[in-house]
A and B are shown apart, each in its own frame.
Chain A
Amino acid sequence: MGLTIEASHIFKAYNGHEVLKDCSFVFDRGGAYALLGPNGSGKSTLFRILSLLERPDRGQVRYLENGRFISADLNLRRRITLVLPRLGVFNTTVFRNAAYGLKLRGLAKGEIEARVNEVLDMVGLTKKRWQPALGLSSGETQRLGLARALAINPEVIFLDEPTASIDPVNIEIIEEIILTVKSRREATIIMITHDPGQAQRLGDHLLVMKNGKIMARGV
């Protein structure tokens, strides 16, 4: 069980401006990584590439299972997920947002309901499950993003600034949720944060984005 991610010699430029320059790193299965770095240093770009949303200009991202490379097809894409910094909430109820990924996978109704209720309970949105998701506060929205991602039981979860621009109470709730996910040891967690304290609290490995590369920053 578990996926290891190997990024090797990734290059990515936008309009001639090189964002990622020969970026290589191995994320071991089951680890919890926190990535720091200034705005515009290419963290989100790297996440989109690692989560197979975007292709690098050069270099490659490979996933390994039991020491063997596995192909980057839909099947693999469905074992990983990225929680975007701006979520992209669907204009429907909280419940249906959380159920989205399961529905895509063609799960039975009862199964979907059970799983969605579980994750909504985990993020404290059970009471709001029939409300329009676009009416949620920013903290609740971010929690819904987590629920939506966790519903599909991802083996790797990328979190792009999951607590940016939300209130301290919600930050604490979200950190608790992430710690719960971590304690279950079911998923590799890779997150971007601007808060070194948060990186310490949630991550086992601290990384920094610098000059288009990932560097380890001690433990």
Chain B
Amino acid sequence: MPNNRKYNLTVSPDFKPDRIAGWYIFNTWLQKKTGLDIHLELYDNFEEQRSAIRNQQIDLIYANPFDTAMLVRELDFKALVKPADKADEAVIVCCEDNPANCIEDLREGCRIIATDDPDINMIGMRMIEPADLDDSNTTTTQVANYVVLAKRLISGDADIGFFLKEAYDDLTNITKRRLKVLVTSQISVIYHSVLAAPSLADQYESLSQALLNINTDAKGPGVLDALGIKGFEAMSEEDAEFMIDLMETLRD
């Protein structure tokens, strides 16, 4: 049953800039579908978003897997759905003329360039361990997005870059020709998900149903297209717990 309360939706700040419109379209669609009054609040970075979450300003979130543990285990959010066919994979890239051909060719003092995307950065740090590299013998520069990251890597500001695979694949061919992939993760069980706060407890079912049936809704395919998502799949409590335990093994 709809009610007259106001809710806030937010989105993991790692979305591509050209998807902003898509999230507004999604929010409008979701409000029509559920009859709920939902406001979309976007944050520039993860820190701002986390403090809003901790201040109970967020009711619904398309969350980065890195934050799922906090949301589910500390703040009692419930996992509703995950995007179909869309796991988060990381790619470690260097310049095309870098003599390194694999991770083991990297050396102490390696200069990393990365965005603030927390799950990709965590996977990236784990994937350089075979070269005995970690926080103590590397330096990391943070940039605003993956396009800037590629540019700075090509201009020699860093030795390697951590990319979300999807963002790397989206670079132009001209850019990709100047870069070389050292390793690509194939983890397949780390993904973003839609989580709802206890404030939405009476709406869990209707929200899940709306999202699971989005493909068969008249406007649904257009909304999905704007988000770059194929559809949503059910996510059980245990699916979320499994992913949280797995992420926990990768934190150190």
A and B: interacting chains:
no
